[in-house]
Amino acid sequence: MNRIHELFSWQQQESLLFTRLDFWLFFLAVMAVFALIHKRYLLRSIFLTGVSLFFYFKTSGNFVLLLGFMLLFNYLIGRGVGWLDRPKWNKGFLIAGLIVNLAGLFYFKYAYFFTDAFNAQFGTDYNVVNQFAVIGNEWFGKGSFVDKILVPMGVSFFTFHNISYLVDISRKEIPAAKNFFDYAFYVTYFPHLIAGPIVRARDFIPQIHQPYQLSKYEFSWALWMIGKGLLKKLVFADYIAVHFIDKVLDAPGSYPGFVGLIAMFAYSLQIYADFSGYTDMAIGVSKLMGFDLLENFKSPYKAISVADFWRRWHKSLGSWLRDYLYIPLGGNQKGSWGTAIMTAVILGFLYFITGWVELWYTYGILLLIYLVLWQFWKAFRTFAVRDLNLLITMIVGGLWHGASQNFVIWGAMNGAALVIYNYWKRISPYEHATNWPVRAWRIFLTLTFITFTRIWFRLPEADQPLKFLTIVTEQFDWTDQTWWIVWNTYQGIFYLIFLGFLTHWLPQKWKDQTVLFFSKWPMPVQALTFAVAVFVMYQAVSDTFKAFVYFQF
């Protein structure tokens, strides 16, 4: 009875994560029922919506009520947005839907941050009150909800799903879902619910009413993706993080500066292996169920420029920001009031969190220069708008990860790099070079820049990145003696880091051929090989489990 109670109650340490045995038992049970009902599309949608809500409950507890409310709200709003021959009403429903979705996102992710910043700026002493917890405790009994505002798992992901659904309906790209469970299944589908990839309704909902198909090759490919994801997460992310990265970056002053530098490159491997490992498993699990999720990573550390990197990294978020922010702002074609408003909002936000009055003087001077150039230099109108919209998009992308000065700086640095690259590529002597030394140099340069910006991504406090850089430069201490001490201490870790980057840089056709070779094995041999590989991975890292990095977003 105790075990049954544990299975159907929420305990944070018993979350249904892809790296836990309980998830795979849950998935086998789901597949057993799915096999019986897969031809009955409505029943299939109802069933998978139900198990997805249970999956979310096991991960986030009572926040499943919030998810349920947002499902009902956005389904009804979507019907209003798609209401025939009511253009004014359609727009009103869309605006209402966007406001509620964004308000919920800002409330849960940014309430404490803005309250603390407001108190610091104006000398007040306001406290955040979780009104949802107050109401919930009145309805369900005292203690049912925690008074402190906690961030619901995956709130950014399912909010972006809802927003894209409403906007696509308003653009006539998709019709509003007539069946509530089709829409609910799309949003809550458990493989992508809490950490992506971000899925468009136009890509997913049509699959709901397609017959289930799974070829021998597709089964093998799905199994390979799951195994690859587990390897990335358990070995190249968790093991390296626990035994090296966290130790160094949590106390960089205790190590020579060059060790901190190595740890940051290792962190680039960790965050890629962690996030792409999750999406690999999500894509593999989904494929076994007959549904396709789009590729989210395309060997990003093979990128030869910052622009190339952002075409390869977290592709679903990048395309979402492009389609629902960058292009509506005017893209690279024209200016809009949105560009000016967003620029002022971002500068206001920076002032709010830093207190730098100089930002407004700077903004005023730049605005004056901008208006003069706009009036008298026609060519300026195109590239200036493109650059501003690009910067805005990347800064918003930084804020999506969290409301902190460091995330803003991280986004701004990447945005500035994209702007600079747009001009550099016009005069670069090796922009179209294909020889391997130039390509290798460009890959190294891009990886180094991305790793440098991640100092602000990894270290949460505002003063930590500069302190870290000071330690790296002033305490670099690269000598034969210190190097051999570090090498002897972390030799196994360094081999793993090298192996991780090496396998990432292997030609894609080699990897495709490996999957094809695996797919030709008899299924019992595949299953046995997979089971042995997973067993070895778990034995090697049984004490090093870490939550997926992107769960916090």
Residues involved in catalysis: 401
With beta carbons less than 8 A apart as the criterion, state whether 95 and 68 touch.
no
DSSP string across 374-437 = HHH-HHHHHHHHHHHHHHHHHHHHHHHH-SSHHHHHHHHHHHHHHHHHHHHHHH-TTTT--SHH
Q: How far is CA 261 from CA 152, 302, 473, in A?
A: 34, 20, 10
Q: Are 408 and 269 in contact (CB under 8 A)?
A: no
Can you say whether the dihedral through the CA atoms of 16, 281, 238, 310 is positive or negative? Answer: negative
Do residues 161 and 187 touch, judged by C-beta distance below 8 A? yes
280, 226 contact by CB (below 8 A):
yes
Task: Give dist(CA 402, CA 113) in Å, integer.
Answer: 9
- 120: its two tokens: 């610091």
Return the structure tokens found at 138: 């009145």
Measured distance CA(306)–CA(321) in Å, rounded = 17
DSSP string, 489-541: HHHHHHHHHHHHHHHHHS-HHHHHHHHHHHHTS-HHHHHHHHHHHHHHHHHHT
Residue 116 in contact with residue 125, Cβ under 8 Å? no
**Token representation of residue 224:** 């390979």
Given a contact cutoff of 8 angstroms between Cβ atoms, the answer to whether 408 and 350 are in contact is yes
In the chain, what's the furthest Cα-to-Cα distance? 78
Do residues 328 and 168 make contact, with C-beta atoms less than 8 angstroms apart?
no
Q: Are 411 and 397 in contact (CB under 8 A)?
A: yes
State CA 163 to chain mean position distance.
16
Query: Cα dist. 378→334, 384, 426 in Å?
Result: 12, 10, 20
Q: Which two tokens stand for residue 137?
A: 């405790």
